[in-house]
Amino acid sequence: MKASRVPWPIDLAGFFWQRKILGRSIPLLASFKVTHRCNLTCRACPFHLRPHADISHMSRDTAVRALETLSSLGTRIVVFEGGEPLLWRDGKYRLHDLVDCARRHFLRVAVTTNGTLPLDAPADTIWVSLDGWKETHDDLRSNSFDRVLAHLEKTKHPRVFVHCTINRRNWTDLERMARQIRKLPTVRGMTFQFFYPYGLGEDDLVLARQERRAAGGTLLALKKKGYPVCQSSTRLRSMINNRWRCHDDLLVNVDPDGSIVQGCYVKNRGTVNCDACGFTPVAEASGALDLIPGSLWAGWKLFL
């Protein structure tokens, strides 16, 4: 991999120049699954069902080669995820070492975690999954709420966000959760996406159309009241009915077997069904590429 690049304003200007002017399909964001292993069995997740296969846990050499490939593609942001990425080990190496390696070569590096382990990874941004307040979260995510909250309260990391996957069991819990999260000084804000039905063993948690509309309305209302909902109002509205322009080649997926696929988050991981899409990060990134002000501002808050 080449050494760390120029300062981020110049780097991003170069990215937009290559995408918008030169028409090159350079990915912005990498979803980097280092492992399918997890210490939880969450109802909404199909990935913890794959932990025992030989290809479910990446070696360090495979991870470094994948990072080199991402760098050669021009990727700017790497998000390590799982499974539970903080469980990743290969000999003396742990996720913190991969994060340190990636930070030397990419504009920004993030980690998405279930929050049951200390939030001390040296990433630029850490997302912690929280799918409702205590009773709801515990039902969906293996009775992990108390551990997650304790780590949120104790973390010294400067850029921690809560991320919620909205589904039919938790959509009425959004305002209650937002009220409590706003009280945590360690949390910079909240992001949300809608449950996607992989059909690979996870529970059927798809929102009915009217539930999705109501949940989206709740998020818009919370944002208007000043709650730290980080997604733009424009993209939240468009996600309610899935009416938005998708640039799926902004995303590149890395899986524990070392495979790398550019495009929709579901590629190589399930059946792609655009009508069921709930991936607000891709919607926001697509909006940023189209120079929609709210999406550009959302990206700034989360990464810059």
Residue 4 above 70 pLDDT? Answer: no
Tell me which of 147 and 5 has the higher pLDDT. 147
Model pLDDT for residues 172-231, shown as the tens digit of each residue? 999 999 999 999 999 999 999 999 999 889 999 999 999 999 999 999 999 999 999 999
Mean pLDDT, range 102-121, rounded to an integer: 97
The 8 Å CB, 24+ separation contacts for 8-11 are 8/107, 8/108, 8/304, 11/76, 11/107
pLDDT band at 55 (very low <50, low <70, confident <90, very high): confident
DSSP 8-state code for residue 119: S
| pLDDT tens per residue, range 154-174 | 999 999 999 999 999 999 999
Q: Which domains does the chain have, with CATH numbers?
A: 8-303 (3.20.20.70)
pLDDT tier for residue 8 given thresholds of 50, 70 and 90: confident
- Closest by CA position to 135, among listed 182, 163, 84, 172: 172
Distances (CA, A) of 50 to 38, 228, 280: 10, 34, 25
The pLDDT value recorded for residue 304 is: 85
* SS3 category, 100: helix
Confidence of residue 56 (pLDDT cuts 50, 70, 90): confident
Segment 220-244 mean pLDDT: 96
- Tell me the three state secondary structure of residue 90: strand
The predicted model gives 223-243 an average pLDDT of 95
Tokens 């697509």 belong to: 286
CA distance 262 to 265: 9
Give the bridge partners for 108, in sequence order: 77
The residue among 42 and 53 whose pLDDT is bigger is 42
Using pLDDT thresholds of 50, 70 and 90, give the confidence band for residue 48.
confident
The single-letter DSSP state of residue 115 is S
- The per-residue pLDDT for 170 is 97
Q: Give yes or no for residue 279 having a pLDDT over 90.
A: yes
Task: Look at 151 and 52; give whichever has higher pLDDT.
Answer: 151
d(C-alpha 294, C-alpha 2), whole Å? 32
Q: Which residues pair with 94 in a beta bridge?
A: 89
Average pLDDT in the 77-84 region? 96
- Neighbouring CB atoms inside 10 A of 159's CB total 17
- The structure tokens listed for 60 are 């360090």
DSSP notation for 235-284: HHHHHHTT-S---GGGEEEE-TTS-EEES-TTTTTS---GGG---HHHHH
Maximum CA extent, the chain? 51
pLDDT value at position 1?
A: 55
Helix runs in 132-254, H state only: 134-140, 145-154, 174-181, 209-224, 233-240
Q: What is the pLDDT of residue 54?
A: 63
Q: What is the pLDDT of residue 5?
A: 60
**Tokens read off for 22:** 């030169």
pLDDT (0 to 100) of residue 3: 47
Measured CA to CA, the distance from residue 154 to residue 149 in angstroms comes to 9
Mean pLDDT of 106-113: 97
Q: b/e map of 83-120 (b: 16 or more CB within 10 Å)?
A: bbbbbbebeeebbebbbebbbebbbbbbbbbbbbbebe
- CB neighbour class for 234 (10 Å; exposed up to 12, middle 13-18, buried from 19): middle
Q: What is the pLDDT of residues 245-259, one digit of tens each?
A: 999 999 999 999 999
pLDDT at 245: 95
- CA torsion 283-98-9-261 (nearest 10°) is -40
Average pLDDT over the chain, rounded to whole? 94
Cα dihedral 136, 137, 141, 142 in deg (nearest 10): -80
Q: What percent of the chain has pLDDT over 90?
A: 90
